[in-house]
Amino acid sequence: MQLKSVLFFLLTASVVNGAAFGQTPIVIKFSHVVANDTPKGKAAERFKVLAEKATKGRIKVEVYPNSILYKDKEELEALQLGAVQMLAPSLAKFGPLGVKEFEVFDLPYIFPSKEVLYAVTEGQIGKDLMKKLESKGITGLGFWDNGFKVMSSNKLMHLPADMKGQKLRIQSSKVLDAQMRALGASPQVLAFSEVYQALQMGVVDGTENPPSNLYTQKMYEVQKHVTLTNHGYLGYAVIVNKKFWDGLPADIRDQLDEAMKSATKYANAIAQQENDTALEAVKKSGKTTVYVLTDKEKAEWRKALLPVQKEMEGRIGKDLIANVNKEAQKLGYK
Ligand code: LMR
Query: How many CB atoms are closer than 10 A to CB 310?
Result: 11
- The end-to-end CA distance of the chain, in Å, is 83
Average pLDDT (316-334) is 96
**How far apart are alpha carbons 195 and 197 in whole angstroms?**
5
**pLDDT, tens digit, for every residue of 97-110?**
999 999 999 999 99
CA-CA distance, 239 to 89, in Å (whole number)?
A: 8
* pLDDT the model gives residue 23: 79
Percent of the chain with pLDDT over 70: 93
Q: Is the CB of 192 under 6 A from ligand 1?
A: yes
pLDDT number for residue 15: 39
Pocket test for ligand 1, best of 72, 87, 90 (most atoms within 8 A of CB): 90
Neighbouring C-beta atoms of residue 265, cutoff 10 Å? 13
Q: How close is the Cα of 192 to the center of ligand 1, in Å?
A: 6
Which pLDDT score is estimated for 51?
98
Burial 248-262 (b: 16+ CB within 10 A, else e): beeeeeebbeebbeb
* Nearest ligand 1 atom to alpha carbon 32: 8
The tens digit of pLDDT for each residue in 244-274 reads 999 999 999 999 999 999 999 999 999 999 9
Average pLDDT value for residue range 190-208? 98
Please indicate whether residue 44, judged by its CB atom, sits closer than 6 Å to ligand 1: no
pLDDT at 9 over 60: no
pLDDT digits (tens, 9 = 90+) for 45-96: 999 999 999 999 999 999 999 999 999 999 999 999 999 999 999 999 999 9
pLDDT at 230: 98
Ligand 1 binding pocket includes 266 (Cβ within 6 Å): no
For the chain, give the percent of residues with pLDDT over 90.
93
Say whether 215 sits in a helix, a strand or coil. helix
Distance 224 CA to ligand 1 centre (A): 21
- Return the pLDDT at 2: 54
Q: Which residue's CA is the closest to the ligand 1 atom numbered 5?
A: 90
CA of 214 to the centre of ligand 1 (A): 10
DSSP state for residue 294 in the 8-state scheme: P
Positions of E strands within the chain: 26-31, 59-64, 86-87, 138-148, 150-153, 167-170, 186-189, 206-209, 225-227, 233-241, 289-291
Amino acid 22: pLDDT? 59
pTM value is 0.93
